[in-house]
């Protein structure tokens, strides 16, 4: 089985990124061949500061390695370091119906809000399809909101195969557990666009202050509470051990506690949970050349596979020998 996924460097990673996607990427690196890339070409639709994009791309790579993505077990690379993908994107673009892209939710949502949509956003699903098809990916781990892009990829690949013969592997989506909703500091889904995130590697003192400001309800301390419907407990559950989780749930059902007590416990388990990744990140940040070497090696390995697929596609459609 060959697994592929990419993650955009549009800001520092937060708990939603980790529990919604990155943790599963790490688990899947033992499921077969695994290709993971920092999607800096996709990020160009929103990040227009070149120095910021370079820094966010490097930070994303450092974070992924610090969190457990092992370059000896998975291929990690920058999207822009594999030009074969961009060339394949054009081959796919020539046969992609406008109507298919007009139905994609990211484009539709932006148009519905009266916002300007550029060609990058409109053709985003085609580049995503090229990302996937370039490595003969069998499985693409995604959140529920990204399943449509895999369906579009299958449509594009299926159309190419129909016109030019069997060229591409048709990938399947693997919907990630926990990807649907990691609550933010306001109880809504954690998202940079909502400004409600808890970053993975912000200073512990800063993180603790954010946690202590998490929105809670005004029920009296003595009132028992159902833990499973409380976003503070949901966050705690992501990080705590099973016995800690059970004890906290019992406390909620018993009542007689303040939310400040839960927040302090959450800050404590968060500091413990991310202590080892934080230490690895500090070491990698002090030696960025190591991460550059990992990305260069990953790009070399990725280009080898992408080059084979591109040559196959060019031969099939008549632009290659």
For the question of residue 110 being annotated catalytic, the response is yes
Contacts of 141 (CB under 8 A, 6+ apart): 3, 5, 21, 24, 25, 28, 173, 174, 176
For the question of residue 113 being annotated catalytic, the response is no
In DSSP terms, 75 is beta-bridged to 35
In DSSP terms, 78 is beta-bridged to 38
Q: CA nearest 184: which of 20, 307, 301?
A: 20
> Could you give the angle at the alpha carbon of 229 between the alpha carbons of 225 and 235, nearest 5°?
105
DSSP label of 7: E
Q: Give the C-alpha separation, 23 to 200, whole Å.
A: 12
Given the residues 192, 210, 314, 315, the one annotated as active site: 192
Q: What's the length of the chain?
A: 321
Q: CA nearest 55: which of 296, 298, 302, 291?
A: 291
- The first and second tokens of residue 209, run together, are 């202050």
Burial 78-97 (b: 16+ CB within 10 A, else e): bbbbbebbebbbebbeeebe
Which of helix, strand or coil describes residue 261? helix
CA 111 to centroid of chain Cα atoms = 24
Given the residues 111, 189, 314, 315, the one annotated as active site: 189
> Could you give the angle at the alpha carbon of 230 between the alpha carbons of 225 and 235, nearest 5°?
130
Given the residues 110, 111, 210, 314, the one annotated as active site: 110
Query: What is the C-alpha end-to-end distance of the chain, expressed in Å?
Result: 29
Q: Give the C-alpha separation, 150 to 122, whole Å.
A: 16
- The first and second tokens of residue 165, run together, are 């013969």
Residue positions annotated with a catalytic role: 110, 189, 192
């Amino acid at each position: 089985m060959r697994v592929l996924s990419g993650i955009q460097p549009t800001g520092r990673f937060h708990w939603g990124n980790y529990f919604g996607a990155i943790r599963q990427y790490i688990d899947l690196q033992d499921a077969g061949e695994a290709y993971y890339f920092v999607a800096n070409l996709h990020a160009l639709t929103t990040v227009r500061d070149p120095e910021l994009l370079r820094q966010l791309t490097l930070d994303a790579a450092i974070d992924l390695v610090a969190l457990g993505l092992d370059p000896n077990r998975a291929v990690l690379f920058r999207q822009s370091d594999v030009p074969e993908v961009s060339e394949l994107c054009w081959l796919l673009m020539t046969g992609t119906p406008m109507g298919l892209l007009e139905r994609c939710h990211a484009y539709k949502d932006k148009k519905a809000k009266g916002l300007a949509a550029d060609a990058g956003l409109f053709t985003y699903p085609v580049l995503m399809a090229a990302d996937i098809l370039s490595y003969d990916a069998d499985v693409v781990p995604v959140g529920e909101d990204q399943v449509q892009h895999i369906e579009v990829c299958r449509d594009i690949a299926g159309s190419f195969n129909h016109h030019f013969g069997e060229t591409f592997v048709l990938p399947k989506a693997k919907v990630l557990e926990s990807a649907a909703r990691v609550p933010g500091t306001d109880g809504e889904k954690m998202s940079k666009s909502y400004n409600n995130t808890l970053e993975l590697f912000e200073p512990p003192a800063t993180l603790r202050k954010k946690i202590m400001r998490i929105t809670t309800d005004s029920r009296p301390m003595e009132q028992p509470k159902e833990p499973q419907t409380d976003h503070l407990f949901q966050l705690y559950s992501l990080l705590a051990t099973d016995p800690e989780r059970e004890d906290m749930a019992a406390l909620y059902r018993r009542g007689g506690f303040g939310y400040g007590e839960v927040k302090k416990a959450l800050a404590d388990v968060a500091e413990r949970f991310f202590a080892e990744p934080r230490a690895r990140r500090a070491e990698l940040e002090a030696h960025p050349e190591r991460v550059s070497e990992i990305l260069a090696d990953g790009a070399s390995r990725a280009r080898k596979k992408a080059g084979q697929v591109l040559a196959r596609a060019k031969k099939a459609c008549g632009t290659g020998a």
